[in-house]
Amino acid sequence: MPSPRLTAFRAWLITAAVVLAITGAAGADEPAIDPTSLSSFTRAIQPLLLNHCATGACHGGDTAAAPQLRRGPVGGLANRTTTLANLQSITKAVADAGGSQAFLHKVLTGHEPNPSPRRGTPLSLSDHERQLLQTWLALSLPDTGSHTTAAGQASMTTAATPVGFDAPLTTPTPPRAAALPLAPSPRKPNRFRSMLERAANPLQLPPPRVTKGLDLEKVLPETFPPLPEDTGLASPAQQN
């Protein structure tokens, strides 16, 4: 009779074999993807498409128009499942459009012949974002001879300079005002030093003006007016 440990070990082996078989079958269903294309799509192209195309109901979610772009279930952050689904959706949309050149022309000029307020509006991209999308399409989903169309060729007449996918999509934020060099503030005067300087160099005032008064030595008694008689006072001349 086998021991309980051996029985538990056999059960664990059977469970591990079943899990490996299921995982291998699921992995075999996934198409082969170039790691470089997947890496550049994850870092640069998927954020670009999610920010511009999946913010509303145009291409966001399973009920939107193709290509359907999905966000992750946790905080809207993309994970491996949503990234592979978005890449597959973009690949199918490029094939349905007739190639990467026709797809880019459709994206940049309008999605439908008669644009509606909800769909068909051209995608507003900066020069850097357009170069990113054009470079990724040319490298990851290149056109074959049968896929090149006149509309797609017209959109690619001006070849964009290939750009690196590691460059940030957004414009770098300028440094904060606190980090910028500040002009030196004027030094406040020392009040104590100012008092000493004023005491050492007093303000020069003009000499005082002397008002010419009455010169008593040149006044004669006769020049005084006579006093009234009823006061009981008499002038020196009258007393003599």
Q: What is the pLDDT of residues 66-84, one digit of tens each?
A: 888 888 777 667 788 888 9
Domain boundaries, the chain: 36-155
Residue range 7-28, pLDDT digits in tens: 766 666 677 665 565 555 444 4
pLDDT at 59: 79
* Segment holding 24, helix H or strand E: helix 4-29
DSSP 158-209: SPPPP--TTS-SSPPPPPPGGGSPPPPPPPPP-HHHHHHHHHHS---PPPPP
Q: Note the pLDDT of residue 77.
A: 77
| Sign of the Cα pseudo-torsion (122, 123, 124, 129, in order) | negative
Regions of the chain where pLDDT drops below 50: 25-29, 117, 146-161, 171
